[in-house]
Structure 1
């Protein structure tokens, strides 16, 4: 009889532990995933805005050496940023949504590819001859084309943004654009 009672109590304990282990408090939600991703990505958002501003702030009719220096630094920074975004996806893991693993895998791969593309642009810019303004300007055309290709390479990110994960990310302070993160007046 004691064995039957012990078995019944053990069974009841397993049921209680199982039920308490599956409570909604312990579930990893899409909002939890978004917070984890956005917290990891937050430093990259400001760096990306700064690099893009550096490109815009350098006058297109400026000295070739200044343009090359600014573009080279910006492209290196953007490569690092995109590697950081890919790393943030890997850190956050799989979001608890249908197809979440594939969404993250594709987005991280897209960011990795864009990071490589920015490094390629940096190499192109670094190789440009700054002694002849016209030759330099002609050399920038393929760089501009490369930038356009990077901007078009967003299918995985668009898929992610349009899903439940994108909606959860939009609510997170860490995923807000750099201007939205800075205090008023700065």
Structure 2
């Protein structure tokens, strides 16, 4: 039951790739390169990214490693902490993007930035809700607990849809000159490399 849940949760690291600009090469900025103001904006967004990604990746790893037939209390404790870390990680990501403001000199940049912040914030809230749900499961009754995990897996389908929306919003934000600007930032590069590393690697 919990393996299904972990499978539904996997793939969150692609959010980093979307924001890091490493999901595509080049941009629409020509030979001049991105505006220095845009590069400064990218630095604001990218600098805190490795720490945020470490928390998010660690949470996904923990969920994937939970023994599905283990003691309910252990599963509950691990899942609860992982959901909390995911909520915190995506909230921090939204905060960094919000604090950075709109990317300067980008057509529709403000709307794209606000959309990404809104979706990251909603994703954080969704994980906070999952934490509440897993905390409320009955660990004294194995059947009830398994049933509760099943309900949690169903809820994850809605969260998966939120993933899609969040990824799309980040990809829209990182097109063109924004892409060029973020690829110059070590924070985004490091986070992207970490996100693409095998989950078994203990970096």
Please say which structure displays the higher CA radius of gyration.
1
> RCO greater where, 1 or 2, for CA within 8 Å and sep 6 or more?
2
Select the residue among 30, 41, 46 that pairs with 1:38: 46
Structure 1 residues 180 and 55 mapped into 2: Cα distance closer, same or farther (>3 Å)? Answer: closer
Deviation at 1:35, TM superposition (A): 1.9
Q: How many equivalent pairs are there?
A: 161
| 1:1-186 alignment runs, 5 A limit | 27-29=36-38, 31-96=39-104, 97-153=106-162, 154-162=164-172, 163-164=175-176, 165-166=178-179, 168-175=181-188, 176-177=191-192, 179=194, 186=203
5+ residue gaps, structure 2: 1-32
Per the normalisation by structure 2, the TM-score is 0.70
Asked if the contact 2:119/2:169 (under 8 Å) is kept, the reply is no
Which is helix-richer, 1 or 2?
A: 1
RMSD: 2.7
CA distance in 2, matches of 1:168, 1:144: 38
Deviation at 1:137, TM superposition (A): 0.9
Deviation at 1:59, TM superposition (A): 1.2
Per the normalisation by structure 1, the TM-score is 0.76
5+ residue gaps, structure 1: 1-23
**Partner of residue 14, structure 1:** none
Asked if the contact 2:53/2:195 (under 8 Å) is kept, the reply is no
